[in-house]
A and B are shown apart, each in its own frame.
Chain A
Amino acid sequence: MNLENEVKKLFFEAFPTLQESEFDWNKKQKDYEHWDSFAQLNLITLAESKFNINLTIDESISITSAKELLACIKSHL
């Protein structure tokens, strides 16, 4: 599985109620119904444990789309 697919899968794990049609790489945090600050924290925690990486607080709070999450993970691998 390539990294893109893995990050997308991770995204759906972090948002279990999210439908396929609601996902878009460029869609922003504010446009997702359940992406609040706690969900952000869960998304980062899941990414860190899945890819065995550590994001800084600044990196964590700067992620506002799936695309940015992918880029951030890439930069740590």
Chain B
Amino acid sequence: MKIITAFLENSVNKNPNKIALVTTEQRHTYKELFELVKGFSSYISKFPKNSVVSLLFENSTEFVISYLGTLYASCIAHILPTNISDENLVKQIDLSEPRTIVTTKQFIKKIQKLTDTNIEKFDFTDVPINYNKSSTRKPEPNSISYLLYTSGTTTFPKGVPVSHQNCVFTTKNITDVLDYKEIDINILPLPLYHSFGLGCLHASLYTGATLFLHKNATNISEICDSIKNNSGSTLALVPATLAKILQESKEEILDSLSTLRLIITNTASLQSELVKKYRKILKNGHFATYYGLTEASRSTFMIFDKEGKEKSIGLPAPGVELKLIDAKNNIGNSGEIWIKGDNVIKKYWKNTEADKNIVNGWLKTGDLGFRDSEGYLYLTGRLDNIINVSGEKVMPEEIENVVKILTGIEEAVAVAMGHKIYGNVVKLFVKKSTNSQITKSEIISHCIKNLERHKVPTMIEFINEFPRTEYGKIKRFMLQ
């Protein structure tokens, strides 16, 4: 298989009457889904090949139809997060230059606010679909399949155009490493507008499995009911939801999780305790994570079957090369993570400045890490987050992790703050947990005991909420 739409076609040919996709409202076999996708492509194919089609949907059958239909018509699916701000929406649309925007009744007002009259704006139910026709075009493997914008924790989001080739390579790695199979019942409550959720959809279509798509991950008991009632075999969740489940620690919830063969989570360095607990909950299953960026999806995988590797983000995915470049530009066992492989994009979307981060196929990630003697990779922080205190390099993540140990702290973010004498010092923003009485001096005192002297915050500010991106990540640059 060389293109994403072949995942669907292949599964239709093998098992047309198998249930492909289930949502709260609808269920479709592979054959039915394919007919709907082809129908949608009949409308999109009126645009020239490689035109951009912007999609704004929450998790739904309509999203899957529009997404695959766009690709089937050899166009580029620009996927918008549903919680995008009006300001970011305008910026993304300006940069992406779509021919049309398709959404649902829920979001139609949001896109009607856009003043560009050259863009067709549709509610999905009003799209002039001709189910007797379909696109006769086929996308090229090296053409762009979808366009996502990075979360923009340090700058304005960058457009990341992912080719069919990138995606096929990544999907094959996901299914091979995590052993996704046709018999799997995949439970997915993650947004499809994020690379993590989208990758799970691809894996399900690729293997010809059944996907139960939930609108979101906030209703934990609904997800657990779905696992129980549908004999779910895999579940994808972000670390924050996994931690919430443990906090609530309800027996029936933990029981339903215990039957899964796989729980997959993503990216962040996980708390060791969380890994250990999930290893215990999954009686016969595996707990796994991966590391990647939208620009280099699923670059490593970590299956937590080994004791002592709980903080690792794993080993490179098959066919992916990683190297660590230190401050003196030497290759070593620690430094900035560079990635090369067919999962890495060729270039950013109309962004020559960002393209400088891709050199001879190597993507400079800006993530810092180290490798242990067995080759397992560990994340330590972000290059652009480093705080320079009087010439001493300080990783904010180290400070944050020390502070978060304290009871009464929900979230902590350390940033640089200008200082007359030291150039920069550390300023810490803290969100206290509900009813927490913790004081600034208690936090400072704890830092003095647990950090080197130059890493201790000089100023602490309590805040109610952190500014976040549409993907939920904290916008550090807004705190500087």
Contact = CB atoms under 8 A, between A and B. Distances in A.
Given A38-B454, A41-B458, A45-B456, A13 B445 contact: yes
A73 to B, nearest CB: 13
Query: How extensive is the interface on chain A, given as a class?
Result: 10 to 19
A19 interface: no
A36 B457 contact: no
B439 interface: yes
B399 to A, nearest CB: 13
Interface majority SS (helix, strand, loop, mixed), chain A: helix
A42 B449 CA distance: 11
Contacts of B441: 46, 49-50
Nearest to A39: B453
A61 B422 CA distance: 12
Contacts of A46: 441, 444-445, 448
Nearest to B420: A57
B459 A45 contact: yes
A16 B440 contact: no
Specify the main secondary structure of chain B where it touches its partner.
mixed
Interface in A35-59: 36-39, 41-42, 45-46, 49-50, 57
Interface string A16-38: 10000000000000000010111
Given A45-B459, A57-B420, A38 B448 contact: no
B453 A38 contact: yes
Interface centre among B389, B439, B457, B458 (most CB of A within 10 A): B458
B425 A16 contact: no
B402 to A, nearest CB: 14
B421 interface: yes
A36 to B, nearest CB: 7
B460 interface: yes
B197 to A, nearest CB: 42
B212 to A, nearest CB: 50
B446 to A, nearest CB: 10
Given A57-B420, A57-B421, A61-B421, A45 B457 contact: yes
Contact of B425 (A34, A39, A41, A61): A41
Contacts of A49: 439-441, 444, 460
Tell me which of A13, A34, A36 has the highest count of chain B C-beta atoms within 10 A of its own C-beta.
A13
Contacts of B439: 49
A20 B459 CA distance: 28
Nearest to A50: B441
Contact of B449 (A16, A37, A38, A61): A16
Interface string B450-476: 000110111110000000000000000
Nearest to B445: A13
Contacts of B448: 13-14, 16, 42, 46
A50 B425 CA distance: 19
Contacts of B444: 42, 45-46, 49
Interface of A: 13-14, 16, 34, 36-39, 41-42, 45-46, 49-50, 57, 61
Interface of B: 389-390, 420-422, 425, 439-441, 444-445, 448-449, 453-454, 456-460
